[in-house]
Amino acid sequence: MVKALYELGGVEQREETLSTDFLLTNKKGGYFLESKDTIYRGFHILDVENGLPSLFKTIDSICICRVPSEIINKFWCIEKKYAPETTERFFMHENGLLYEVENYEGYSLLTLDMRKINDYSNEGHDYKFYDKNGFFIIEYSKFKDAAKTEKAYTKYIVIKTDAKIENLSKWVNKTFEYDKRRGDVSERFVFEALRFHISNNGRIVFYSGTNLEVAMNNANYLYYSNEHLKNQKKEYIKRLTSNNIMVSKRIGMAYKRALKSLDDLTIEINEQPMIYAGLPWFYQIWTRDEAISLKALMLEKEYEKVKKIIFRQLKIILKDGRIPNRYPPSQLSSADGVGWVFKRIYDFVKLLQKRGELEKVLSREDMLVIKEKISESLNKLIIHRTRDGLAINGPKETWMDTDYGGDERDGARIEIQSLRLCMYSFAGFLSKYLEDKDQKKYRDLEKNMRLKVRQDFFERKMLKDGSTDKTLRPNVFLAHYIYPDLLSSKEWEQAFKYCINNLLLPWGGFSTIEKSSPLYSEYYTGMDNKSYHRGDSWYFVNNLAAISLKKVNYDMFYNVIVKIVEASTEEILAKGVMGVASELSSAKELRSEGCLSQAWSSATYIELVHELFENATDK
């Protein structure tokens, strides 16, 4: 075990962890991940491929190759401590990494793996090293063919340091154990390029880019203005984490870390905010993930950011009434993305009304645009995505978007019904607010569908996952969270008890399928999708489930809520990558698995803390 310390505003939280993995981002699409277990580690910058954003890897690792005794997360930087008094410090600014070592005599090793993030070819590339104007330059060229006759592109790493540099130029084959367990690419030759001789103290700046002169200027600025930039980051963190909710110190620190983690995944491209689904491999803007994550930003009063995101999401309504699944585009369609977007806009409007700020944030013209878009979407959904009064979807179109053993969740699914009902409700609300003629139309659609869903899904105290599928899944909690008017409080209690009896795991999460199912998997199986939606426990679902349990009957479900809060808190502070919320856990025991940092896991934890503690009584 390694000591882990979180420091923020004079508050310290001490933990113990098996891992010293950490993640830094630049809020411009790039990240630095230190880990020995995944090929996605290292320093990545935003890249453009075929006109669409992607990532480019530069540094694979930089380290003094010793075992740390402690890792400290200061929010604005990461420090690693080594006996007796050595410190490594990592600070990221734009496309630059500031690496500092104190009280150390020896070498720090730089390993390179320069490539587009999903380019695993080992041919047709060159590294060149040279000095220029007081900088050490690494020039990487990728060629279109193995014979290196035509250059595809060139990238640079500019190094500014006072340390002595030794050229190693050694290729080493690495195996990455986490990727191997997941069934991903797990073996690769990396380039042990250089080592730096550190004499007591050392400061090294790495700046990556396509334009050498720009990278040199930026490296120089980061090297000589690092104290100013550090202070800027400290002030930013102070503002980001200024909201104080009365909770225990441990939950409070996990809440502040969730705020920082979500902020790290909230990037800006061309002055447009957007939220990565996760890092290191979900570096796309998934409509449902982004929409689900927005509630946390609303609660934290990030109104302008929320407004920009929702109006971007509303720009394209497809011919079937849906919103595109993600950006950059994919072939997979999303049945729930459009519903989550309008659910979150409805939440936004109601929250602003409650706070007396609706007209200040959303003008009448804004509301007219929203009404126009929801009407367009519903008209098309009724024609193309409705059958016998129910919302329908194809295989792998819900958030459970994988298949295994014939399990594809097509047909009419419970959370998709709730999303449609929520859309009808919101459209009716907008018609009343704008005083137009459509209110009765949407109220009738909502009333008739609600009766139909109750008839086809609610059976003997159980809310079915599909209209013709009695398989039990935690989507029951999502159904309540999205549209609580579907059942009475007493009926929700019955449905929740049935779920708890069949889905609750001892450590405080919910399995994604009933434990008696032949498809149930106790352990995360990675990219074969066997366990992904058939056993693995997702933190965003657990957090939203706790919110619904609290709203239906806090006293009745108190012990389950406590378990969920404790599990999500433990996962953020003491599991996986330091201080971030991962995608999921194996059903068998609490773990950090799946994608290492997931936006909706952090966002729903923030929402859960607000729900439980913002206006809490002593209990």
CATH number of the domain where residue 330 is located:
1.50.10.10
* Amino acid at residue number 499: C
222 and 248 assigned to the same domain: no
Query: Where among 168, 200, 228 does a domain terminate?
Result: 228
Model confidence at 332, in pLDDT bands (50, 70, 90)? confident
6 and 30 assigned to the same domain: yes
Give me the torsion for CA of 273, 279, 280, 283, rounded to 10°: -40
In the chain, the number of structural domains is 2
| Runs of H (alpha helix) within 458-598 | 475-482, 489-503, 539-553, 558-574
Whether 234 maps to a domain, the answer reads no
Query: What pLDDT digit, counting tens, does each position of 217-235 carry?
Result: 999 999 999 999 999 999 9
Q: What percent of the chain has pLDDT over 90?
A: 94
Query: What pLDDT digit, counting tens, does each position of 137-194 carry?
Result: 999 999 998 888 899 999 999 999 999 999 999 999 999 999 999 999 999 999 999 9
Instruction: Using the predicted structure, report yes or no on whether residue 617 has a pLDDT greater than 60.
Output: no
Q: What is the pLDDT of residue 270?
A: 84
In order, the DSSP letters of 172-221 are EEEE-HHHHHHTS--EEEEEEEEEEEEEEEEEEEEEEES-HHHHHHHHHH
* Cα gap 412→337, rounded to integer Å: 16
CATH number of the domain where residue 207 is located:
2.70.98
Q: What is the pLDDT of residue 331?
A: 83
Q: Which residue has the higher pLDDT, 271 or 539?
A: 539
* Cα gap 108→260, rounded to integer Å: 29
Model confidence at 593, in pLDDT bands (50, 70, 90)? very high
Query: Where among 176, 197, 228 does a domain terminate?
Result: 228
207 and 133 assigned to the same domain: yes
Model confidence at 528, in pLDDT bands (50, 70, 90)? very high
219 and 280 assigned to the same domain: no
> Among 39, 146, 164, 161, which Cα is nearest to 106's?
164
* Cα gap 280→351, rounded to integer Å: 32
The DSSP bridge partners found for residue 102 are 87
Query: What pLDDT digit, counting tens, does each position of 246-305 carry?
Result: 999 999 999 999 999 999 999 998 889 999 999 999 999 999 999 999 999 999 999 999
Whether 236 maps to a domain, the answer reads no
The SS3 call for residue 128 is strand
211 and 257 assigned to the same domain: no
Query: Where among 172, 194, 228 does a domain terminate?
Result: 228
Instruction: Using the predicted structure, report yes or no on whether residue 618 has a pLDDT greater than 60.
Output: no
Burial of 490 (0-12, 13-18, 19+ CB in 10 A): exposed
Q: Is the pTM of this model over 0.85?
A: yes
Query: What pLDDT digit, counting tens, does each position of 477-491 carry?
Result: 999 999 999 999 999
Q: What is the pLDDT of residue 16?
A: 96
> Among 520, 512, 477, which Cα is nearest to 495's?
477
CB atoms within 10 A of CB 347: 18
**Contact assessment for residue 206 and residue 59, using Cβ atoms and an 8 Å cutoff:** yes
Q: What is the pLDDT of residue 516?
A: 96
> Among 9, 520, 4, which Cα is nearest to 256's?
9
Quick one: which H or E segment has residue 153? strand 151-161
138 and 287 assigned to the same domain: no
* Cα gap 154→210, rounded to integer Å: 7
Query: What pLDDT digit, counting tens, does each position of 339-359 carry?
Result: 999 999 999 999 999 999 999
Find the mean pLDDT for residues 519-528.
97
CB atoms within 10 A of CB 93: 20
Q: Please state the separation of Cα 97 from the chain's center in Å.
A: 22
279 and 153 assigned to the same domain: no
Find the mean pLDDT for residues 33-42.
97
Whether 550 maps to a domain, the answer reads yes
* Cα gap 236→589, rounded to integer Å: 36
221 and 355 assigned to the same domain: no
Whether 233 maps to a domain, the answer reads no
Structural domain of residue 261, as residue ranges? Answer: 243-613
How many C-alpha atoms does 129 have within 13 Å on its Cβ side?
A: 11
Query: What pLDDT digit, counting tens, does each position of 405-418 carry?
Result: 999 999 999 999 99
Whether 513 maps to a domain, the answer reads yes
Whether 67 maps to a domain, the answer reads yes
The SS3 call for residue 78 is strand
The SS3 call for residue 397 is coil
431 and 454 assigned to the same domain: yes
Whether 238 maps to a domain, the answer reads no
Whether 619 maps to a domain, the answer reads no
384 and 465 assigned to the same domain: yes
474 and 543 assigned to the same domain: yes
198 and 251 assigned to the same domain: no
Give me the chain's average pLDDT, please: 96
Find the mean pLDDT for residues 592-603.
98
Q: Please state the separation of Cα 252 from the chain's center in Å.
A: 20
